[in-house]
Structure formats: structure tokens, C-alpha cells
Amino acid sequence: MIEFRAVTKRFDDGTVAVNQLDLTVEAGIITVFVGPSGCGKTTSLRMINRMVEPTSGTILVDGQDVRAADPPRLRRGIGYVIQQAGLFPHRTVLDNVATVPLLSGWSRGRARHRAAELLELVGLPAELGRRYPAQLSGGQQQRVGVARALAADPPVLLMDEPFSAVDPVVREGLQDELLRLQDELDKTIVFVTHDIDEAVRIGEKVAVFREGGVLAQYAAPAELLARPADDFVAGFVGRDRGYRSLSFVDSGEVALDQVSTVAIGQPAGAPTAEWVLVLDEQRHPRGWLPPRSTVEGAVTEAGLTPGGSLYQAGTPLRGALDAALSSPSGLGVVVDERGGYAGVVTARQVLDLIERARPTATGAERGH
């Protein structure tokens, strides 16, 4: 647990970067600091490992005032990952990762063995260990940065915009990877970003900062999207927040409807007034036959109307709504864990579910 108690940072030129910050970062989860540029996120993060000293106030890590700790020793117990990884260019990838264990007095052999394990943990092939950082892609460099920060197995990990220098697809992969790692490791992670989508995707708790280093709201992502504390937070979380908040609404039991289906290679039968869903041998959806389609002989993949996104039962409702909206028939196709056809759902059904899930007094009056 990391506690900020009335922490203020005023730089020598008078800039107040952080203003009376009171915040408790819970142990074992990812907490994100988010906000527009210059609102004091990085300064707050760097005060945790004493790269910046507060002007006033106290920071406690697991109940210990960080001022009582020797800074190099403190930093060895707190992993730190920065934008563009900050790797040492003249050391191999393996030696980059082994740096902190070596500094902590491990033998070279043991430190390298640990480094190799960590490369595997972050999903990098062992042979990359012999390369130099410049010989890796941006995404790979970030993974090395994460591996290096984890090397001494610190309970706390500080990550300052670690994924902002890579393209959106790689970034999403790295976010997934971090969530997977965190599932295994249960570290206390403080993650700084200016990207609200990244914040609500990876944070279990999100602290929104505003200009002048003031904490505007501190809440779980679903709460932030559903109930922004003020206009600043509402503006910052953005216009699609209602839709995006569906990412956090579990579908529970969606009542599925069924449609007519036909398997590839089978005759389509007589034309009907309904959309017909075409499945392959494993019952994976392949596309649609529009109403009144006439197919000579067996159905093939060639003439099908492409389907929309697929919704896996039990995952958040955003996917169900998207499946319905993107489907040419207006029927969102629901699949099971193996991707096999399970049923269909309409946007109307999804919206009804959302309404029912809404925890309001009105809901109670309606007898839900």
C-alpha cells in the first residue's frame, strides 16, 4: 500500500506540480494516474521512489515513510519502467534485465538465469537476449523494460507512460500482456498515462488529475464512466463514456434466440423470408444468406453476406451490442467458448438487459 498524505511539490521556479495530494494506492492492484499534460502525474509517481522530493507532506510505502529509506536501496525495491524503455544501449538485452540482480549482489550466472526466465515471462524468445536494444522493435523494447523492472521481484512497480511510444495495435498487445502478468504476479502497480482509454482498460482504480496537480476523482473505471465527479472529469473521460462503460457490465444470463442455420456444403433449401446463418463443420459462423436467397446446389462460402462481430457469451455487454449493431441481419451472433454458434441477440434485448442491470430506485419500483 502506498499512501500520499497532504503531499505538495513546488519546484524552485514556483510551479506547483502536485497540490495537497491525499490518496491511498491499494496493494496488489493496478492503479492508474491519468490526466492532461502537466497535471503532476509523473511528479507524483517519482516522489514514491524519491526521484523527486516532496516540498511538504508524507509518502508511506507499506507504512514506512520513504524519507527514512536510503534512496538507492528504496529504488531497488521499486521497479520503474519509463517510456521508450530506457534501456542501456551498450548492454545486451539479457544484461539489461540482469542489471538490478547484479547490483543487489547476485552472481553473474544467477542473475543471467533470472533474466532469461523474465524474458520468457514477458513473452520474448530467449535468442533476443543476445541482441542489443536498438536491434529490437519498440514493443519488444518495452517488454524488456518490464522484464528489467521485475528482475528483483519488487512488490511495487512504477510505470510512467510505458506504452505511449508504440503504435495502437502493439500497445493493446502490451496492455493485455501486463494484465496477464499482473494476474500471476499481484504487484502493486502505479501506472501513469494521459490516455483515458488505456486508464480504464488496465486500471482497477483510476486517479484523474487536473491542472495544478489536484486530484479530481479517484474511483474504479466503471464508476468514473458512470458517475464523473464534475464537468472536468466528464469532459476528460470523453463523449462515448456511456457506450464504453458497457465494457464493465456483465451480461449475466442473456436469453438467446435461435435462427435458421445451414451448414456449408449442404443445400440451402427453399428461399425464406428470414436471414439464414451459415455455419462450418465446427459450427463456427461463416456469414449470412439474406432473406429470399436462392442458392443452386450446396451452400459455399463464396456468395455469403459477411457477418458482424461475434459475441462470446458471458463477456461484457459492449460486445453483445456491437455484435447486434454490426450484423447485417441486426441479429448479433453469440458463440460459446470454442467459437461455436450458440444463438442470436438483438440490440433491443441488450438495451433491455442494461436497463434491468441499472441499480436505481426506479428499478426497484418496477419490481426488479
Ligand X SMILES: Nc1ncnc2c1ncn2[C@@H]1O[C@H](COP(=O)(O)OP(=O)(O)OP(=O)(O)O)[C@@H](O)[C@H]1O
* CA–CA distances in Å: residue 155 to residues 44, 237, 293: 18, 30, 61
Shortest distance, position 43 Cβ to ligand X, whole Å: 3
How many positions of this chain bind ligand X (CB under 6 A)? 13
Question: Toward ligand X, which CB reaches closer, 35 or 228?
Answer: 35
Binding residues for ligand X restricted to 165-194, rule: CB under 6 A: 194
Of 11, 242, 257, 272, the residue at the interface with ligand X (CB under 6 A) is: 11
List the end-to-end C-alpha distance of the chain, in Å, as a whole number: 39
Question: Toward ligand X, which CB reaches closer, 34 or 74?
Answer: 34
> What is the side-by-side order of every strand in the sheet holding 64-65?
16-25, 2-10, 56-61, 64-65
> Nearest to residue 118, comparing CAs of 83, 84, 81?
81
Shortest distance, position 164 Cβ to ligand X, whole Å: 9
Question: Toward ligand X, which CB reaches closer, 212 or 290?
Answer: 212
Shortest distance, position 35 Cβ to ligand X, whole Å: 6
Shortest distance, position 237 Cβ to ligand X, whole Å: 17
Contact map string, positions 27 to 56, toward ligand X, x by CB under 6 A: --------x-xxxxxxx-------------
Shortest distance, position 208 Cβ to ligand X, whole Å: 11
Dihedral angle sign, alpha carbons of residues 297, 301, 307, 311? positive
Euclidean distance between CA atoms 22 and 6, whole angstroms: 5
Assigned C-alpha cell, 199: 486508464
Question: Toward ligand X, which CB reaches closer, 18 or 331?
Answer: 18
Question: Toward ligand X, which CB reaches closer, 43 or 329?
Answer: 43
Shortest distance, position 40 Cβ to ligand X, whole Å: 4
Question: Toward ligand X, which CB reaches closer, 39 or 59?
Answer: 39
Question: Toward ligand X, which CB reaches closer, 13 or 127?
Answer: 13
Binding residues for ligand X restricted to 304-333, rule: CB under 6 A: none
Of 17, 199, 237, 345, the residue at the interface with ligand X (CB under 6 A) is: 17
Question: Toward ligand X, which CB reaches closer, 79 or 213?
Answer: 213
> Nearest to residue 100, comparing CAs of 74, 124, 125?
74
> Under the criterion CB under 6 A, does residue 58 sit at the interface with ligand X?
no
Shortest distance, position 62 Cβ to ligand X, whole Å: 24
| Residue 147 · residue 121 · CB < 8 Å | yes
Shortest distance, position 33 Cβ to ligand X, whole Å: 8
Q: Which residues bind ligand X (CB under 6 A)?
A: 11, 13, 15, 17, 35, 37-43, 194
